[in-house]
Amino acid sequence: MKFELPEKASVETLEIDAREVEAMLQGPKMDLKPWPGAQVKLKDGRILFIREARLDEAPKMLTYMEKIMHVDHDFYDIVGARVYSEILGWYRSRLKDPYTLVGLIDGKWAGFANGRLMNEDINISLHTMALLRGGRIGAVMYYAKAYYGFEILGNKEWWATYESYNGWMRWGLGMAQPSYPWPDVQHELGGAKVYYVTKKYWDQLIKQYVRQMAGADLDFNVSDEVRKANEELIVPDEILV
Ligand SMILES: CC(C)(COP(=O)(O)OP(=O)(O)OC[C@H]1O[C@@H](n2cnc3c(N)ncnc32)[C@H](O)[C@@H]1OP(=O)(O)O)[C@@H](O)C(=O)NCCC(=O)NCCS
């Protein structure tokens, strides 16, 4: 759009550095404390190591997610497509204050969990995926990101929603999460219901969840050996779900 100028301008065409536009588009980032890395011994004895994904790993994560979004059972397709856009949003700085956790077994990518901070109080849970089935890896990944929100970032509330029966069963039902009145309050993922956890409810009940689910707590005392074995994220050759 162009309007006539109400005053003479000595320079009529302004030159703008795209870096200045970038600052406008991104806005200031919150200073998020890092996830320190934790391990969980799965029921079959394998060690799942949960660490933050590195930005340089995003391209290979995207390549794998491109395959996952064609899996047409258990809602892997829609979750895969949305996770693809979230990884890209993180990679291209088009997601406000995201965090991206990966679950690895001997380096192999087995689980995914991400979210973003709406503000200092509210943590928006985005997606969780088990890339290997049957080990309750998804359950553990979700718990780890909620732990990150409440225990490390100091959030007061957790907002989630569910696209799949397995997701709803694992956490909506599995954590007995209440929901806000709908459609008055809607989650950013498709306008679905917001299921929530408060810090009080987390402290009262949900901290026991991972022990009940996986039979072990998150262990932050991770050996150098485990960290080293999971330094490189290895994308599986084929779809395993
Ligand atoms: C939701 C999700 C993360 C849960 O992961 P998980 O906790 O590791 O659990 P799984 O999906 O492997 O297994 C769930 C149930 O399916 C059944 N199951 C077990 N092995 C299975 C297998 N090899 N394949 C399919 N289903 C299996 C079991 O009943 C299991 O429950 P149980 O462990 O209590 O017996 C996972 O199902 C997933 O990634 N789904 C697609 C993406 C998605 O829906 N994300 C959540 C969005 S709301």
Residue 13 lies in a domain: no
Of 109, 114, 202, nearest in space to 155 by CA: 202
In CATH, what number is assigned to the domain containing residue 141? 3.40.630.30
Q: Is residue 136 a part of any domain in this protein?
A: yes
Is 79's C-beta closer than 6 angstroms to any atom of ligand 1?
yes
Instruction: Determine whether the shortest distance from the Cβ of 219 to ligand 1 is under 6 A.
Output: no
61-71: average pLDDT: 98
Number of separate domains in the chain: 1
Predicted local confidence at residue 99, as pLDDT: 98
Contact between 104 and 230 (Cβ < 8 Å)? yes
Whether residue 140 contacts residue 148, with contact meaning beta carbons closer than 8 Å, is answered with no
Residues 80-124: tens digit of each pLDDT = 999 999 999 999 999 999 999 999 999 999 999 999 999 999 999
Beta bridge partners of 157: 122, 198
pLDDT digits (tens, 9 = 90+) for 155-164: 999 999 999 9
The answer to whether residues 241 and 74 touch, using CB atoms and an 8 Å cutoff, is yes
Identify the residue whose C-alpha is closest to ligand 1 atom 11: 133
Is residue 64 within 8 A of residue 84, CB to CB? The reply is no
Note the Cα 12 to chain centre separation in Å.
46
Q: Does 23 reside within a domain?
A: no
**Distance from C-alpha of 146 to C-alpha of 141, rounded to nearest angstrom:** 9
Whether 20 is in a domain gets the answer: no
Task: Return the pLDDT at 211.
Answer: 86
Q: Which residue has the least CA distance to atom 25 on ligand 1? A: 133
132 found inside a domain: yes
The tens digit of pLDDT for each residue in 192-221 reads 999 999 999 999 999 889 889 889 999 999
The pLDDT value given to residue 114: 98
> Is 219 domain-assigned?
yes
Domain limits at 180?
Answer: 37-229
If one residue of 48, 72, 166, 187 were mutated to test the ligand 1 pocket, choosing by the most ligand atoms within 8 A of its CB, it would be: 166
Report how far ligand 1's centroid is from the alpha carbon of 223 (Å).
28
Residue 1 belongs to some domain of the structure: no
Whether residue 54 is contained in a domain is answered as yes
Q: Is the CB of 167 under 6 A from ligand 1?
A: yes
